Amino acid sequence: MSDELVERLRRGPAGDDAALRVRLGVDGPVDDAALGRALVAAVAAAPLALRSEAGAASEARAEPEPAATDVRSLLALACAGTLAERRRSLLRLASLLGGDLPEEDLAEIDEALARARDLDAGYELLVARRALPGAASAEVRAEDAAARALAVRLEVAIGQYWDGQLEGEPLAALAPEELASVALRLREWPAAIAGHVAALVEGTVLDAERRRAWLDAFRHAGDPRLVPAFVTVLGAETRPLVRSAARALARIEDPRVKPALLRAYRRSAQPDERAALAGALGLLGEPAGRAWVRALLSSTETAILEVALGAMATLGLPEDVDRIAPLLAHPSPEVRLRAVRALGRTGDGRALERLRQIGGEGEGALQAEVDEAERVIAARLELRGEAPPAERSRGALATGPRTALGEAGGVGLSARLRAFADWLAGRAWLALGARDRAARCLERAAARHPAWAAPLVALAEGFGPDESAHALTALRRAVERDRAWVERHGARALARVFLRRADESEKAGRSEVARGLLEEVLALDLRRAPSGLRFELERRLGTLRGDGA
């Protein structure tokens, strides 16, 4: 009888149905509402059962191990695989490093890890670098020791903050390098720190803008403990927050992520938000938004093209080369940059040809993207056993070393030697902590050899944390003299000094100045800067631009 009543409710019980009235115990003709109420009461009164029916499907999933086991293939996968493949390959390399590897393999891994700038696999890179033998991992071990002390300090401060003993929010008080370290190592740190980050993002204490800044700061953390908070933001918030949450979620390996992103994608109607969600799904290997994003590539709006190309960097297939390649000639530098990145991810040899056509014209950040895209495509071709198209005709990379001490024109040999001696003396004084004397020697070296950038970079490195304005001036002079050399040998100093100065400007309320500094440094080739610093620069700029890109 209960099933019959359920069916009547589904069909609509209205009308003169005497039999139904009798069943429901309703006397005489009644209006539809009364009949409906009687039926609702009867159906709702049917008891629920405590019985076992088919439960939620839950498939046993083994951790996907990389198919390749040789070092060369693992390195190619670590460069050009999907995010999951890159991460697994790096962890596999780390475990191989714990064994007995031939010298040439060790050297190859060491070089590849030193070159790698994969922010999405930052934690796995850290684990692999830790596993390097001897001095190669000394820097990482030193950073780990500092990070452990920071974690202890932070955990105490967080407890005090929520207890009301500490007024300022502890993460906001960290220096940029420290914040990058927290994001990189969060997965290894206590639950109280991850819980604090989750609470900031969920937002009982912060406004939307600062919540988005934290979402962006922890975009690459990859900590599954953050998933519930990020999913909450995904379902609840405004478009910029949703975009940031989608990007952060896609970088966490967790079974809750894909269903949440799919749900949000199906609900979303705004192109920028939807494209970010489609791109996030693409990072997980889910092609749901590919066709929709492809259609956006024919848009004439620069902003739409930017978000579409951002998504194509994870969704692109070899057949998309012809759709993306024409955008390499777009007037917007940002569109060109994103087109290069998206072409790189297609992994197609034809894309290599197109990239080589613009390669010689590129400068700074664009050239860095072109080189990275070429490297990724070459690695993919190698994984597929294909030969890359014929080598490029141009000789060296535009970012390659163009000027060295010995080849500078217009400066006599004795002047160059005296400059070199001053530079050596300056470095020595720096090592001894005599900064004023060091500065005098280095300035003298720079004056003796006007095309040489090394003394100015050394000078910038010698300035203390509270003298970032002076360091900035020295670095700008160095870039003016020999940009390629500075990008190659001074990338760490560039990233650190510009970041510190931007941080100071922002804290002083001069956001425009901070934004200008970040744009200036990010226009340079920073591939040789530590990935944490580079990420922090990009995150800060995204926050200041208000686009979270």
CB of residue 114 vs another protein: minimum separation in angstroms? 35
Which of 1, 25, 27, 48 lies at the binding interface for another protein (CB under 8 A)? 48
202 or 519: CB nearest another protein: 202
457-466 — which CB contacts under 8 Å span 24+ positions? 457/486, 457/489, 457/490, 457/493, 458/423, 458/426, 458/427, 458/430, 459/426, 460/490, 460/493, 460/497, 461/430, 461/493, 462/426, 462/430, 462/435, 462/438, 463/435, 463/497, 464/435, 465/500
x/- binding map, residues 367-406, to another protein, per CB under 8 A?
A: ----------------------------------------
In the complex with another protein, the residue whose CB is nearer, 142 or 152, is 152
In the complex, minimum distance from the CB of residue 225 to another protein, in angstroms, rounded to a whole number: 7
The CB-of-21 to another protein minimum distance in angstroms stands at 12
Non-local CB neighbours of 509 within 8 Å, separated by 6+ positions: none
Q: Which is nearer to another protein, 214 or 452 (CB)?
A: 214
Q: Which two tokens stand for residue 7?
A: 């069916």
The residue (of 52 and 393) whose beta carbon lies closer to another protein is 52
Quickly count: other Cβ atoms within 10 Å of residue 161's Cβ: 17
Among 133, 235, 389, 546, binds another protein (CB under 8 A): 235
Q: Which is nearer to another protein, 152 or 469 (CB)?
A: 152
Of 540, 539, 498, 501, which is closest to residue 520 (Cα–Cα)?
Answer: 498
Q: What is the distance between the alpha carbons of residues 81 and 172, in angstroms, rounded to a whole number? A: 35
Q: Does 43 bind another protein (CB under 8 A)?
A: yes
CA distances from 254 to 119, 165, 240 (A): 18, 35, 23
Q: Is 441 a binder of another protein (CB under 8 A)?
A: no
Closer residue to another protein in complex, CB, 2/302: 2
Residue 438 tokens, joined = 């060091």
Q: Which is nearer to another protein, 48 or 135 (CB)?
A: 48
Instruction: Give the x-and-dash track for 139-178 against another protein (CB under 8 A).
Output: -------------------xx--xxx--------------
Kindly tell me which residue out of 56, 135, 269, 413 binds another protein, with binding defined by CB under 8 A: 56
Mapped to the 3 state alphabet, what secondary structure does 496-541 carry? HHHHHHHHHHHHCCCHHHHHHHHHHHHCCCCCCCCHHHHHHHHHHH
The token duo for 60 is 């046993």
* Binding status of residue 36 toward another protein by CB under 8 A: yes
Residues 182-201 that bind another protein (CB under 8 A): 191-192, 195-196, 198-199
* Position among 19, 44, 62, 135 found at the interface with another protein (CB under 8 A): 44
* Total residues in contact with another protein, by rule CB under 8 A: 67
The residue among 41 and 404 lying less far from another protein, judged by its C-beta, is 41
> Would residue 222 be called left, alpha or beta, if left means φ above 0 and alpha means ψ between -120 and 50 degrees?
left
Give 248's contacts (C-beta < 8 A, 6+ positions apart). Answer: 215, 216, 218, 219, 221, 226, 230
Shortest separation between residue 7's beta carbon and another protein, angstroms: 8
Q: Mind giving me the DSSP string for 256-267?
A: THHHHHHHHHHH
Contact 376, 79 (CB under 8 A): yes
> Which spans of this chain sit near another protein (rule: CB under 8 A)?
2, 6-7, 9-16, 31-33, 35-37, 39-41, 43-44, 46-59, 61, 158-159, 162-164, 191-192, 195-196, 198-199, 202, 204-205, 224-225, 228, 231-232, 235-236, 254-260, 263, 267
